[in-house]
Copies of this chain bind each other. A is one copy, B any other.
Amino acid sequence: MMINNSISTKQASEFLSQSDNILLLCHKNPDGDTIGSAGGLMYALKKLGKCCAILCQDRIPDKYDYLKLELYRNQFIPEAIVSVDVASAHLLGEKTAPYNDNVDLCIDHHPSNTSYAKMTCCDGSLPATAQLMLEIIENMGVELDKDIANCLYTGIMTDTGCFKYSATSSATHIAGAKLIDAGADHTFIANRFFMSKSRKNIMLEKYALNTLEFFCNDRCAVVVLTKEILDEIQAQPSDIEGISAMPRAIEGVDVGLTIRQLTDSSFKISIRTSENINACEIAEGFGGGGHTRAAGCEVMGSLECVKKAILREVETALCK
- Chain A positions within 8 Å of B, measured between CB atoms, are 161-166, 168-171, 173-174, 176-178, 180-181, 186-187, 190-191, 194-199, 202, 205-206, 209-210, 212, 249-252
Q: A174-B173, A176-B173, A177-B170 are in contact. Are A164 and B194 (CB under 8 A)?
A: yes
A197 lies within 8 A of B251 (CB): yes
Docked complex Cα distance between A166 and B187 (Å): 5
Q: A162-B162, A177-B173, A209-B202 are in contact. Are A168 and B197 (CB under 8 A)?
A: no
Q: Which of A173, A198, A202 has the most CB of B within 10 A?
A: A173
Which of A165, A170, A180 counts the most B-chain CB atoms under 10 A from its CB? Answer: A170
Closest to A178 in B: B170
User: Are A205 and B209 closer than 8 Å at their CB atoms?
Assistant: yes
Q: Which residues of B contact A173 (CB under 8 A)?
A: 173-174, 176-177, 180
Q: CB distance B202 to A250 under 8 Å? A: yes
Sample 21 A-B pairs with CB under 8 A, ordered by A number: A162-B163, A162-B164, A162-B194, A163-B163, A163-B190, A165-B187, A169-B180, A171-B177, A173-B173, A173-B174, A173-B177, A174-B174, A177-B177, A196-B251, A197-B250, A199-B252, A202-B250, A205-B205, A206-B206, A206-B209, A210-B210
Closest-by-CB residue of B relative to A162 is B162
Which residues of B lie under 8 Å from residue A199 when comparing CB positions? 250-252
Chain B residue numbers with a CB within 8 Å of A196 are 249-251
Provide the bound-state CA to CA distance between A202 and B211, in Å.
Answer: 12
- Whether B198 contacts A251 by the Cβ 8 Å rule is yes
Measured between beta carbons, the chain B residues less than 8 angstroms from A161 are 195
CB-based closest 3 A-B pairs? A170-B177, A173-B177, A206-B209
